[in-house]
Structure 1
């Protein structure tokens, strides 16, 4: 009898393990930042400067000058640090960093999740976002996916927004995160052919139903990922810039890109609910 019960136990364990593995979405790309020094050049490249001459102020009137200096971007304690500093560089009073996967990795559809702790203070504007693979700054992008944005003059309100048809149309939502600057949170989107869902720590807070005509749909193409901290700008600097808060950091624990979550079992596996 005891041998029979052991046999049944192992059969059930095998079934449960197989079900769990079947529900696990496939990891397509990641950076766990479990190394030292600068960001991995096989995964990341940098935007540099102030956007000039094509888009001075990066198209938003931003005040930072992007560098790849260790003062602005580095790894520490298995975290990626992007630090905005009040520091003169050419005609800019601030320096910061912007990383991107352009030319190295891009995806059409997927569950993208970044675990991060955000900077605080008036004038900060951190972002985790995506642009079309073929975008070259010569014109407005044909689609933009903002996974997470936060502006320091509205502390604790995190935004997830889609822009399309240039800047003429957008869909977005927001959620309150009171400890945005003291705790790490998981910012994610589940991007499929017919919708884009926004998540905070596994909680759904906005859904975009993608009913745009096929063939002209800006969200049916490959996008690359960007991570940055801007300073000032039309939105980030709307209430001015506090000179006393600098430097400020965006800290990132990991970046992960999975295949899209298309079943309830996959969402249960990822979110535990």
Structure 2
């Protein structure tokens, strides 16, 4: 499969009966994940499963592991990673106060540039549930922490109404974010350093080495806030496919 000069190198169409363990691992726990989140991520089929060709990540209101909600986080760490490429995910998003779905990437080796945030983080899509018609694309880096990005708002309706395609094109000199092939953000200036007193690493650090993909549905946290009486549970993050492309000619 090719697309505008990009060739498909990795994908999951979720056509089987179970989540493919050769492609995904679960990130487990209820430690807040650096954002004071309220969910406990499990590997139970109640929280992540395949249904009718879709990966379903479900957040539920239930006591588990000392947390008031359960959900799931899947990642390709240790199974697949990439330096540069086109990353495309077709998904239907949940909504509601305190609901926080994300498609994002972290470096396989966190310590090359000194841990987070200097190691870098690429957020392909995030939505905070009280803004159900807006998504964000962001990169994190630096020391002290610095981030930059953009956002896209639907002209009508919400991201929970239907499936949309969320895309990142990552090259050595630029990152481009799209919704349904509409370009909404471009970044070509970033930096990092291991500590506040260090010299800046040469561009394009920290985004010049392998990153793996993550899909998760958080509940609560510093950015989205926390569920209230208006939040309906369960909420589902439905992923139709994940596709990764590289240039057909092998050049960027």
Aligned to 1:4: none
Aligned to 1:78: 53
**Cα distance change, pair 244–40 in 1 and its aligned pair in 2 (3 A):** same
SS at match of 2:33: helix
Match among 158, 161, 176 for residue 182 of structure 1: 161
Aligned to 1:164: 141
Aligned to 1:26: 7
**Cα distance change, pair 86–219 in 1 and its aligned pair in 2 (3 A):** same
Deviations 1:34-57 (A, max 9, x none): 1112x100000000111xxxxx31
**Cα distance change, pair 47–242 in 1 and its aligned pair in 2 (3 A):** farther
Q: Could you tell me how far apart the structure 1 residues matched to 2:229 and 2:246 are? A: 41
Tell me the TM-score normalized by structure 2: 0.87
Q: Could you tell me how far apart the structure 2 residues matched to 1:255 and 1:191 are? A: 16
Give 1:139 shift: 4.9
Aligned to 1:218: 206
Give 1:64 shift: 0.2
User: What is the alpha-carbon root mean square deviation over aligned residues?
Assistant: 2.4
SS at match of 2:160: coil
Max radius of gyration: which structure?
1
Higher helix share: 1
Q: Could you tell me how far apart the structure 1 residues matched to 2:5 and 2:27 are? A: 34
- Counterparts of 1:1-273 in structure 2, within 5 Å, are 23-37=4-18, 39-50=19-30, 56-135=31-110, 139-140=116-117, 142-166=119-143, 168-177=145-154, 178-210=157-189, 212=191, 214=202, 217-237=205-225, 240-242=227-229, 244-260=231-247
Stretches of structure 2 lacking an aligned partner (at least 5 in a row): 192-200
Aligned to 1:8: none
**Cα distance change, pair 169–252 in 1 and its aligned pair in 2 (3 A):** same
Tell me the TM-score normalized by structure 1: 0.81
Higher strand share: 2
Give 1:242 shift: 3.8
Give 1:134 shift: 1.3
